[in-house]
Structure 1
Amino acid sequence: MYALQFTATGDLAALSHRELPTPTPAADEVLVEIHAAGLNPSDVKNVLGRFPYTTLPRVPGRDFAGVVVQGPAELIGQAVWGTGNQIGFSRDGSHASHICLPASGVARKPESLSFAQAASCGVPYTTAWDALQRSQVTAGTRLLVIGANGAVGSAAIGLALARGAEVVAAVRRPGYLPAPGVQSIQLDEPANLAAQVKAHFPGGAEVIFDTTGFWLPAAVSALAPFGRIAYIAAPADGYVQLPALALYRRGGTLVGVNTLLYSTADCAAMLDGFGALFDQRKLPLPGDLREVPLSEGPACYLAVNQGSTEKFILRP
């Protein structure tokens, strides 16, 4: 098979397109012929050495969609999608023509999604799904999504609307067009966030999902009593000045969202959960994808590391 592989970390030059032996699945595993694989910023960080538990040499990549070619009889020939916390880190990942993983780690691909669309969803949608689940977003919940124009933010808005939540999107970039029924605010100074939010949600937002990690201090003052703040990132040094007294006085809760805590089987259950929403037309189909040959993968990694916001889909 052909794959991207790195044998050292710290430099994207260590990533190359090469031919490797096709893996052989164990009795409880499947071999999937990959039709499309998503490229996420965490894949780039993996090659750069940001994950100390990664073992080498390694094929990176977490998200994929394809067809089962070996495994349990009931799965052979099935179109599937998957993601999870080991693939790309402690076992070979999806940036290849084939991937081997536990049979419990794949879910049947929604019929409404193409392989490329399905491959774009794994990390962004499981992250958003987990954030909404654990911060208890339901019908009528007043939700603020910070960083709404990113992949995770967009997924969170779609999933929240499908749950019947009231959503306000917060972005820095001018010209952002929110989904129908979603109000938006332009982020400027952190000190202004509370007033901006309360102009839409008197009393504050019940849930704030900060997909950047940089607005945590400001988010506290925009929170309603007993509100929840979910977040998925933090400054590079891992520290932030949080107004703990103000959070305490609101009875607020912080929810750290890290999908690397979830196995492929855990993620397959999430994919089944929100995958049905695509087929029910309750979620918009993913768009603005750039499909490129797997052989051009190293160049795509470099582009993401240099700040590209394009959603690259690698096609073996």
Structure 2
Amino acid sequence: MNALQFSRTGDLAALEYVELPQPVAAEGEVLIQVKAAGLNPSDVKNVLGRFPYTVLPRVPGRDFAGVVVEGPQGLIGQQVWGTGKEPGFFRDGSHAQWLTLPANGVALKPKALSFVQAASLGVPYTTAWDALQRSGVGANTRLLVIGGNGAVGSAALALGRVLGAQVLGAVRRPEQQQALAAKGIDSVVLGEPDALAGQVQAFFSGGADVIFDTTGFWLAPSVAALATWGRIAIIAAPVDGQVQLPSLALYRKGGSVVGINSLLYDCKACAAMLDQFGRFFDEGLLELPGDLVESPLSEGLARYGEVNAGRSDKIILIP
């Protein structure tokens, strides 16, 4: 089969387009014909060596959508999607023509989603769903999403609305604010950190119940914008991993910080999440993803380089 593979880490030159034997499904596993595979920043970072636990040589790729061709009888022929901490790190991932996974590590693909659309959602949507669930977002929760224009931020705003939350985005540029407004979402344009609390108060009297910082740079300013008993969810940190946290202010509000890490969840846990929110696409409650860039897997090396250089389009590799 055709696949991307790396046998060392440190730079993208380690990634190669190669021919490998077709994998064989073991007992309790499924063999999936990959129809589409998402390219995430974490896939690029994996080749660059940011995840020292990755077992080499390795086919990268976490997110996928495809068809089961071998495995338990009830799954053969089913259209599935999935993601998780194993593919691309501990076992060969989705940037290939074929993929094997535990049978309980895949979820049935929502009928409303194409293979390409489904492959674009795994990491962003499971990350957002985990953040909302673990920070207690529900009906009438006042939710602020910092970085609301990004893949995870957009997912959090969309899922938050389905859960009945009052949502507010925070973005860097006016054109990003206009894009959210076109979706009926209020937002603020980020400026000086000290101004964040006042901006949030203009929408949420008393502050936000939950603040989801998808950028890693707004944890400290978020404390002042937080309501009593509020929660701050974070998925990133500054490069050095350190931040000056106003802990006294957080303590006085009874606030808490929740760390969100998608790589804590195996494929089985992710499949359960996909089942939980995937139905919202079939029910018409979630907008179908658009503006996706399809690329042949054979051009994957170039696409990895573009993502590493800062390209923000969602790229889907097609075997």
CA-to-partner distance for each residue in 1:130-155, whole Å, 9 max, x for gaps?
A: 00000000010000000000000000
Q: Who is 2:47 aligned against?
A: 47
Q: Who is 1:280 aligned against?
A: 283
CA-to-partner distance for each residue in 1:171-216, whole Å, 9 max, x for gaps?
A: 0022122154421100011010000000100100000000011100
Q: Who is 2:147 aligned against?
A: 147
The residue type equivalent to 1:25 in the other structure is: A
CA distance in 1: counterparts of 2:173 and 2:286, whole angstroms: 24
Q: 1:192 aligns with which of 192, 195, 198?
A: 195
1:1-316 aligned within 5 A: 1-176=1-176, 177-178=179-180, 180-316=183-319
Question: RMSD of the TM alignment (CA)?
Answer: 0.7
The normalised TM-score by structure 2 is: 0.98
CA distance in 2: counterparts of 1:16 and 1:286, whole angstroms: 29
CA distance in 1: counterparts of 2:107 and 2:316, whole angstroms: 19
Gaps of 5+ in 2: none
CA distance in 1: counterparts of 2:298 and 2:222, whole angstroms: 42
Instruction: Name the SS for the 1:178 alignment partner.
Output: helix
Residue 123 of structure 1: how far off its partner (Å): 0.1
The residue type equivalent to 1:238 in the other structure is: G
Instruction: Name the SS for the 1:175 alignment partner.
Output: helix
The residue type equivalent to 1:195 in the other structure is: G
CA distance in 2: counterparts of 1:183 and 1:55, whole angstroms: 44
The residue type equivalent to 1:263 in the other structure is: D
Instruction: Name the SS for the 1:184 alignment partner.
Output: strand
CA distance in 1: counterparts of 2:20 and 2:240, whole angstroms: 37
The residue type equivalent to 1:51 in the other structure is: F
The normalised TM-score by structure 1 is: 0.99
CA-to-partner distance for each residue in 1:69-109, whole Å, 9 max, x for gaps?
A: 11011101000000001110010000000100100000000
Runs of 4+ in 1 over 6 A off after TM superposition: none
CA distance in 2: counterparts of 1:182 and 1:142, whole angstroms: 13
CA distance in 2: counterparts of 1:16 and 1:236, whole angstroms: 28
Instruction: Name the SS for the 1:155 alignment partner.
Output: helix
Residue 237 of structure 1: how far off its partner (Å): 1.1
Aligned residues with identical type, % of pairs = 68
The residue type equivalent to 2:185 in the other structure is: V
CA distance in 1: counterparts of 2:8 and 2:191, whole angstroms: 40
CA distance in 2: counterparts of 1:49 and 1:241, whole angstroms: 28
Instruction: Name the SS for the 2:31 alignment partner.
Output: strand
CA distance in 2: counterparts of 1:173 and 1:85, whole angstroms: 33
CA distance in 2: counterparts of 1:247 and 1:45, whole angstroms: 33
CA distance in 2: counterparts of 1:278 and 1:54, whole angstroms: 33
CA distance in 2: counterparts of 1:244 and 1:63, whole angstroms: 37
Residue 236 of structure 1: how far off its partner (Å): 1.2
CA distance in 1: counterparts of 2:142 and 2:169, whole angstroms: 11
CA distance in 2: counterparts of 1:280 and 1:142, whole angstroms: 24
The residue type equivalent to 1:95 in the other structure is: H
The residue type equivalent to 1:153 in the other structure is: G
